[in-house]
Amino acid sequence: MNSIEIRSTILGMGISVPSRILTNFDLEKIIDTSDEWITERTGIKERRILEDGENISKHAIKASFEALKEANITPEEINLIICATLTPDYLIPSLSVLIQDGIGARNAGAFDLSATCSGFIYGLAVADQFIKNNPDWKILLVGAEALSRKTNWKDRSICVLLGDGAGAVIIGKSSEPQRGILDFVIGADGSYWELLTLKGGGSCFAPFDERLPKEEYYIKMQGKEVFKIATRMMEKIALELLKRNNLTSKDIKLLVPHQANLRIIEYLRERLGLPKEKVYINIQKYGNTSAASIPLALYEANKEGNLEKGDLVLLIAFGGGFTFGGTLLRW
Protein backbone atom coordinates (compact mmCIF):
# COMPACT_ATOMS: atom_id res chain seq x y z
CA MET A 1 0.00 0.00 0.00
CA ASN A 2 1.32 3.43 -0.93
CA SER A 3 1.87 5.68 2.09
CA ILE A 4 -0.41 8.33 0.57
CA GLU A 5 -3.32 5.86 0.83
CA ILE A 6 -2.67 5.03 4.47
CA ARG A 7 -5.07 6.65 6.89
CA SER A 8 -4.98 6.37 10.68
CA THR A 9 -8.12 5.99 12.73
CA ILE A 10 -9.36 5.58 16.30
CA LEU A 11 -9.72 1.89 17.11
CA GLY A 12 -10.81 2.20 20.73
CA MET A 13 -11.45 4.77 23.46
CA GLY A 14 -11.51 4.94 27.24
CA ILE A 15 -11.88 7.53 29.99
CA SER A 16 -11.42 7.80 33.74
CA VAL A 17 -12.20 10.64 36.14
CA PRO A 18 -11.86 10.98 39.92
CA SER A 19 -14.91 10.05 41.98
CA ARG A 20 -14.78 13.27 43.99
CA ILE A 21 -17.18 15.90 42.64
CA LEU A 22 -16.64 19.59 43.46
CA THR A 23 -19.80 21.57 42.74
CA ASN A 24 -20.31 25.29 42.38
CA PHE A 25 -22.11 25.20 45.73
CA ASP A 26 -18.99 23.68 47.29
CA LEU A 27 -16.94 26.56 45.89
CA GLU A 28 -19.35 29.08 47.40
CA LYS A 29 -18.11 27.94 50.80
CA ILE A 30 -14.42 28.68 50.13
CA ILE A 31 -14.37 31.73 47.82
CA ASP A 32 -16.54 34.75 47.03
CA THR A 33 -18.62 33.31 44.20
CA SER A 34 -22.00 31.73 43.45
CA ASP A 35 -23.46 28.94 41.36
CA GLU A 36 -25.28 31.54 39.28
CA TRP A 37 -22.10 33.57 38.64
CA ILE A 38 -20.05 30.52 37.61
CA THR A 39 -22.78 28.99 35.46
CA GLU A 40 -23.53 32.23 33.62
CA ARG A 41 -19.90 32.95 32.81
CA THR A 42 -18.54 29.47 32.16
CA GLY A 43 -21.34 26.91 31.79
CA ILE A 44 -19.69 24.77 34.48
CA LYS A 45 -21.78 23.19 37.26
CA GLU A 46 -19.24 20.76 38.71
CA ARG A 47 -15.78 19.30 38.15
CA ARG A 48 -13.89 16.14 39.19
CA ILE A 49 -11.01 16.58 41.62
CA LEU A 50 -8.30 14.14 42.72
CA GLU A 51 -8.37 13.05 46.33
CA ASP A 52 -5.32 13.61 48.51
CA GLY A 53 -2.80 10.89 47.71
CA GLU A 54 -4.48 10.07 44.38
CA ASN A 55 -2.39 10.55 41.22
CA ILE A 56 -3.49 11.22 37.66
CA SER A 57 -1.44 8.22 36.46
CA LYS A 58 -4.10 6.01 38.06
CA HIS A 59 -6.75 7.43 35.74
CA ALA A 60 -4.49 7.49 32.70
CA ILE A 61 -3.83 3.78 33.18
CA LYS A 62 -7.51 2.97 33.75
CA ALA A 63 -8.56 4.89 30.61
CA SER A 64 -5.83 3.09 28.64
CA PHE A 65 -7.06 -0.34 29.70
CA GLU A 66 -10.58 0.54 28.54
CA ALA A 67 -9.29 1.78 25.17
CA LEU A 68 -7.28 -1.43 24.72
CA LYS A 69 -10.33 -3.55 25.49
CA GLU A 70 -12.50 -1.66 23.01
CA ALA A 71 -9.82 -1.94 20.33
CA ASN A 72 -9.46 -5.66 21.13
CA ILE A 73 -5.68 -5.52 21.36
CA THR A 74 -3.23 -6.45 24.10
CA PRO A 75 -0.74 -4.11 25.80
CA GLU A 76 2.09 -6.06 24.15
CA GLU A 77 0.79 -4.96 20.73
CA ILE A 78 1.29 -1.26 21.52
CA ASN A 79 4.33 0.18 19.74
CA LEU A 80 4.24 3.72 21.10
CA ILE A 81 2.62 5.65 23.94
CA ILE A 82 2.11 9.41 23.67
CA CYS A 83 0.78 11.24 26.70
CA ALA A 84 -0.44 14.82 26.32
CA THR A 85 -0.19 16.49 29.72
CA LEU A 86 1.04 19.57 31.52
CA THR A 87 0.57 17.99 34.96
CA PRO A 88 2.45 14.66 35.07
CA ASP A 89 2.93 12.91 38.39
CA TYR A 90 6.62 13.82 38.25
CA LEU A 91 9.06 15.64 35.98
CA ILE A 92 11.07 12.41 35.90
CA PRO A 93 9.82 9.85 35.00
CA SER A 94 7.34 10.99 32.37
CA LEU A 95 3.66 10.13 32.73
CA SER A 96 3.84 8.08 29.52
CA VAL A 97 6.45 5.81 31.09
CA LEU A 98 4.24 5.26 34.14
CA ILE A 99 1.40 4.34 31.78
CA GLN A 100 3.70 1.96 29.88
CA ASP A 101 4.60 0.19 33.12
CA GLY A 102 1.06 0.31 34.48
CA ILE A 103 -0.53 -1.43 31.50
CA GLY A 104 2.39 -3.76 30.80
CA ALA A 105 3.17 -2.42 27.31
CA ARG A 106 6.68 -3.89 27.31
CA ASN A 107 7.29 -3.36 23.59
CA ALA A 108 6.31 0.32 23.50
CA GLY A 109 8.33 3.49 23.36
CA ALA A 110 6.88 6.34 25.40
CA PHE A 111 7.07 10.11 25.65
CA ASP A 112 5.07 13.04 27.04
CA LEU A 113 3.87 15.88 24.84
CA SER A 114 3.31 19.37 26.26
CA ALA A 115 0.96 21.60 24.26
CA THR A 116 -1.48 22.53 27.06
CA CYS A 117 -5.15 22.33 26.04
CA SER A 118 -4.21 21.56 22.43
CA GLY A 119 -2.13 18.56 23.51
CA PHE A 120 -4.56 15.88 22.38
CA ILE A 121 -4.86 17.46 18.92
CA TYR A 122 -1.08 17.66 18.66
CA GLY A 123 -0.90 14.03 19.77
CA LEU A 124 -3.32 12.96 17.04
CA ALA A 125 -1.17 14.73 14.45
CA VAL A 126 2.00 13.03 15.72
CA ALA A 127 0.33 9.60 15.89
CA ASP A 128 -1.04 10.04 12.37
CA GLN A 129 2.46 10.59 11.00
CA PHE A 130 3.83 7.55 12.81
CA ILE A 131 1.08 5.35 11.38
CA LYS A 132 1.69 6.64 7.86
CA ASN A 133 5.32 5.59 8.17
CA ASN A 134 4.67 2.43 10.21
CA PRO A 135 1.29 1.09 9.03
CA ASP A 136 1.33 -1.95 11.32
CA TRP A 137 1.89 0.06 14.49
CA LYS A 138 -0.66 0.55 17.25
CA ILE A 139 -0.33 3.78 19.22
CA LEU A 140 -1.82 4.63 22.60
CA LEU A 141 -2.57 8.35 22.88
CA VAL A 142 -3.58 9.65 26.31
CA GLY A 143 -4.69 13.09 27.44
CA ALA A 144 -4.43 13.32 31.23
CA GLU A 145 -4.46 16.28 33.59
CA ALA A 146 -4.36 16.95 37.34
CA LEU A 147 -5.11 20.66 37.12
CA SER A 148 -6.42 20.81 40.67
CA ARG A 149 -2.82 20.33 41.83
CA LYS A 150 -1.84 23.54 40.02
CA THR A 151 -4.86 25.59 41.11
CA ASN A 152 -4.86 28.53 43.51
CA TRP A 153 -8.14 27.96 45.35
CA LYS A 154 -8.15 31.58 46.49
CA ASP A 155 -8.17 32.89 42.90
CA ARG A 156 -11.79 32.73 41.76
CA SER A 157 -10.89 33.77 38.21
CA ILE A 158 -9.23 30.38 37.65
CA CYS A 159 -10.27 27.90 40.35
CA VAL A 160 -13.88 27.72 39.13
CA LEU A 161 -12.70 26.55 35.71
CA LEU A 162 -10.40 23.59 36.22
CA GLY A 163 -10.86 19.86 36.75
CA ASP A 164 -9.02 16.54 36.57
CA GLY A 165 -9.43 13.52 34.30
CA ALA A 166 -7.99 11.31 31.59
CA GLY A 167 -9.00 10.05 28.17
CA ALA A 168 -7.23 7.51 25.96
CA VAL A 169 -7.49 6.33 22.36
CA ILE A 170 -5.82 3.60 20.34
CA ILE A 171 -4.64 4.79 16.92
CA GLY A 172 -3.97 2.39 14.09
CA LYS A 173 -4.30 1.97 10.32
CA SER A 174 -7.83 2.26 9.01
CA SER A 175 -9.15 -0.83 7.21
CA GLU A 176 -11.32 1.53 5.15
CA PRO A 177 -9.29 4.23 3.34
CA GLN A 178 -12.16 6.71 3.39
CA ARG A 179 -12.41 6.59 7.19
CA GLY A 180 -10.13 8.04 9.84
CA ILE A 181 -8.10 11.25 10.12
CA LEU A 182 -8.55 13.33 6.97
CA ASP A 183 -6.59 16.45 7.84
CA PHE A 184 -5.23 18.47 10.72
CA VAL A 185 -3.90 21.91 11.58
CA ILE A 186 -1.50 22.65 14.41
CA GLY A 187 0.05 25.99 15.24
CA ALA A 188 1.29 28.33 17.95
CA ASP A 189 1.77 32.01 18.75
CA GLY A 190 4.28 32.59 21.51
CA SER A 191 3.83 36.37 21.48
CA TYR A 192 0.91 36.03 23.90
CA TRP A 193 2.64 33.69 26.33
CA GLU A 194 2.31 35.97 29.37
CA LEU A 195 -1.50 35.83 29.29
CA LEU A 196 -1.60 32.25 30.59
CA THR A 197 1.30 30.98 32.67
CA LEU A 198 2.57 28.47 35.22
CA LYS A 199 6.08 29.66 36.03
CA GLY A 200 6.82 27.75 39.21
CA GLY A 201 8.59 24.46 38.54
CA GLY A 202 10.36 25.68 35.43
CA SER A 203 14.13 25.97 35.22
CA CYS A 204 14.18 29.78 35.35
CA PHE A 205 13.72 29.55 39.09
CA ALA A 206 15.00 27.08 41.65
CA PRO A 207 12.36 25.26 43.69
CA PHE A 208 10.75 27.63 46.20
CA ASP A 209 12.87 30.50 44.88
CA GLU A 210 12.21 33.57 47.04
CA ARG A 211 12.26 35.78 43.94
CA LEU A 212 9.12 34.05 42.67
CA PRO A 213 5.84 34.75 44.50
CA LYS A 214 4.07 31.59 45.63
CA GLU A 215 1.14 32.48 43.36
CA GLU A 216 3.38 31.73 40.38
CA TYR A 217 3.40 28.05 41.36
CA TYR A 218 -0.23 27.97 40.23
CA ILE A 219 -1.87 28.53 36.86
CA LYS A 220 -2.53 32.22 36.19
CA MET A 221 -4.67 33.62 33.40
CA GLN A 222 -5.81 36.97 32.07
CA GLY A 223 -9.25 35.71 31.15
CA LYS A 224 -10.68 38.51 29.01
CA GLU A 225 -7.63 38.67 26.75
CA VAL A 226 -7.44 34.87 26.44
CA PHE A 227 -11.13 34.76 25.50
CA LYS A 228 -10.60 37.17 22.60
CA ILE A 229 -7.66 35.23 21.18
CA ALA A 230 -9.26 31.83 21.73
CA THR A 231 -12.45 32.68 19.87
CA ARG A 232 -10.58 34.22 16.96
CA MET A 233 -8.11 31.37 16.56
CA MET A 234 -10.62 28.53 16.96
CA GLU A 235 -12.81 30.03 14.25
CA LYS A 236 -9.80 30.49 11.97
CA ILE A 237 -8.69 26.87 12.41
CA ALA A 238 -12.17 25.49 11.74
CA LEU A 239 -12.63 27.56 8.59
CA GLU A 240 -9.17 26.65 7.30
CA LEU A 241 -9.81 22.92 7.70
CA LEU A 242 -13.18 23.16 5.99
CA LYS A 243 -11.93 25.31 3.12
CA ARG A 244 -8.94 23.18 2.18
CA ASN A 245 -11.09 20.04 2.20
CA ASN A 246 -13.81 21.66 0.04
CA LEU A 247 -16.35 21.44 2.85
CA THR A 248 -18.74 23.77 4.60
CA SER A 249 -20.00 23.64 8.17
CA LYS A 250 -23.17 21.98 6.84
CA ASP A 251 -21.08 18.90 6.04
CA ILE A 252 -20.02 18.49 9.69
CA LYS A 253 -22.05 15.99 11.72
CA LEU A 254 -20.46 16.92 15.04
CA LEU A 255 -18.13 19.59 16.36
CA VAL A 256 -16.20 18.50 19.46
CA PRO A 257 -14.40 21.56 20.81
CA HIS A 258 -12.04 21.88 23.74
CA GLN A 259 -14.26 22.39 26.78
CA ALA A 260 -12.76 25.59 28.16
CA ASN A 261 -15.74 27.90 28.51
CA LEU A 262 -19.33 27.64 27.28
CA ARG A 263 -19.21 31.19 25.95
CA ILE A 264 -16.23 30.33 23.74
CA ILE A 265 -17.99 27.22 22.46
CA GLU A 266 -21.21 29.15 21.76
CA TYR A 267 -19.28 31.86 19.93
CA LEU A 268 -17.64 29.25 17.70
CA ARG A 269 -20.94 27.49 17.07
CA GLU A 270 -22.63 30.72 16.01
CA ARG A 271 -19.75 31.79 13.77
CA LEU A 272 -19.86 28.43 11.99
CA GLY A 273 -23.63 28.54 11.72
CA LEU A 274 -24.09 25.19 13.44
CA PRO A 275 -27.27 24.16 15.26
CA LYS A 276 -26.83 23.27 18.93
CA GLU A 277 -27.37 19.56 18.31
CA LYS A 278 -24.21 19.50 16.15
CA VAL A 279 -21.93 20.67 18.97
CA TYR A 280 -21.04 18.32 21.80
CA ILE A 281 -20.74 19.92 25.23
CA ASN A 282 -19.94 18.29 28.58
CA ILE A 283 -18.15 21.19 30.28
CA GLN A 284 -20.97 21.35 32.82
CA LYS A 285 -19.76 18.05 34.31
CA TYR A 286 -15.98 18.32 34.13
CA GLY A 287 -14.91 21.93 33.67
CA ASN A 288 -11.71 22.57 31.75
CA THR A 289 -9.54 19.44 31.85
CA SER A 290 -6.99 20.75 29.33
CA ALA A 291 -5.49 17.90 27.25
CA ALA A 292 -8.10 15.46 28.62
CA SER A 293 -10.98 17.65 27.47
CA ILE A 294 -11.45 16.44 23.87
CA PRO A 295 -11.01 12.70 24.52
CA LEU A 296 -13.51 12.93 27.39
CA ALA A 297 -16.01 14.70 25.13
CA LEU A 298 -15.43 12.48 22.10
CA TYR A 299 -15.85 9.33 24.20
CA GLU A 300 -19.13 10.50 25.70
CA ALA A 301 -20.44 11.76 22.35
CA ASN A 302 -19.88 8.29 20.92
CA LYS A 303 -21.35 6.44 23.92
CA GLU A 304 -24.46 8.62 23.77
CA GLY A 305 -25.08 7.68 20.14
CA ASN A 306 -24.14 11.01 18.58
CA LEU A 307 -21.77 9.40 16.06
CA GLU A 308 -22.41 6.95 13.24
CA LYS A 309 -20.12 5.37 10.70
CA GLY A 310 -19.19 7.85 7.99
CA ASP A 311 -19.94 11.01 10.01
CA LEU A 312 -17.59 13.96 9.61
CA VAL A 313 -16.25 15.12 12.97
CA LEU A 314 -14.34 18.32 13.66
CA LEU A 315 -12.12 18.60 16.74
CA ILE A 316 -10.88 22.09 17.70
CA ALA A 317 -8.64 23.17 20.59
CA PHE A 318 -6.82 26.23 21.88
CA GLY A 319 -4.51 26.50 24.86
CA GLY A 320 -1.80 28.38 26.70
CA GLY A 321 1.42 29.14 24.95
CA PHE A 322 -0.49 29.87 22.84
CA THR A 323 -1.08 26.65 20.97
CA PHE A 324 -3.98 25.73 18.73
CA GLY A 325 -5.06 22.87 16.54
CA GLY A 326 -7.86 21.10 14.74
CA THR A 327 -8.51 17.64 13.37
CA LEU A 328 -11.00 16.62 10.70
CA LEU A 329 -11.91 12.95 10.73
CA ARG A 330 -14.48 10.61 9.27
CA TRP A 331 -15.95 8.31 11.89
Measured in residues, the chain has a length of 331
Give the active site residues. 117, 258, 288
95 and 271 in contact (C-beta within 8 Å)? Answer: no
First vs last Cα of the chain: how many Å apart? 22
Query: In angstroms, rounded to a whole number, what is the distance separating the alpha carbons of residues 268 and 247?
Result: 17
**Which residue in 149, 173, 22, 47 sits closest to 90, CA to CA?**
149
Query: In angstroms, rounded to a whole number, what is the distance separating the alpha carbons of residues 144 and 69?
Result: 19
